[in-house]
Chains A and B, each alone.
Chain A
């Protein structure tokens, strides 16, 4: 019962903050001088990237925990988190080019940030494929935990790529040196959108974990049926 209340509260909060984010993104945040309205893509491009990074961080932490403790629950959280991470990383790779075309004149360029983000996406798609095609649960959990730990190396590379190499991608807007920074209303909108996407991540994670629990319950009953037969 308490779990249900928590879920309802989470979904409710997510919906309310979604409405606030939409209002702030389209009506409240000022229009950027050089790019115009297309810059508003920033308010869901950056939060999508943040959620993808956060999801892959959870995959890293829970994969490591699984390798140490061999607790199936940690493996389940890693799997669910990776799936949602891939979803948001896909959104980054789609909304980025949609923004790049009017801003840079090209859909895609093979610079460090973009290429490493594509590599990140490929790593976690490989992670999901590994989970899908490996039949033995023990081996699947161990192999994917190793990939979940090793694959995370690309996350800091993606994050720092715009500081380490000269790239077409803009420099960080926060703590990126003297020329970086956002107008207060833009910063407030970004922070609200970051909060919304984080809430959305946890709401999706709850649903995805529920699916996993039901799947395990079905497998257990199936085993009992086979034993009684």
Chain B
């Protein structure tokens, strides 16, 4: 049974890690876009 749970844990951990890394990257790019848009708006003023 411990082999089964080890394999199962690996699958969940990998999926969680991948989703977490995507979320971190999405937030970073969204923040970068906000910053760039603000810069662009300042430049136009």
Contacts and interface: CB of A to CB of B under 8 A. Distances in A.
Contacts, number: 73
A95 B43 contact: no
A90 B43 CA distance: 47
Given A94-B7, A218-B33, 13 more contacts: A41-B8, A44-B7, A91-B14, A207-B22, A211-B22, A211-B25, A211-B26, A214-B26, A218-B32, A218-B36, A224-B40, A225-B36, A225-B39
Interface residues of B, dominant DSSP: helix
B3 A207 contact: no
Interface string A95-131: 1001101100000000000000000000000000000
Contacts of B43: 225, 228-229
A21 to B, nearest CB: 11
Given A37-B1, A94-B10, A99-B7, A221 B26 contact: no
Interface string B1-24: 101101110110011001100100
Interface residues of A, number: 32
6 A-B pairs with the lowest CB-CB distances in the bound complex, closest first? A221-B36, A98-B7, A214-B29, A95-B7, A41-B7, A38-B3
Contacts of A225: 36, 39-40, 43
Contacts of B32: 218
A41 B36 contact: no
Interface string A67-98: 00000000000000000000100110011001
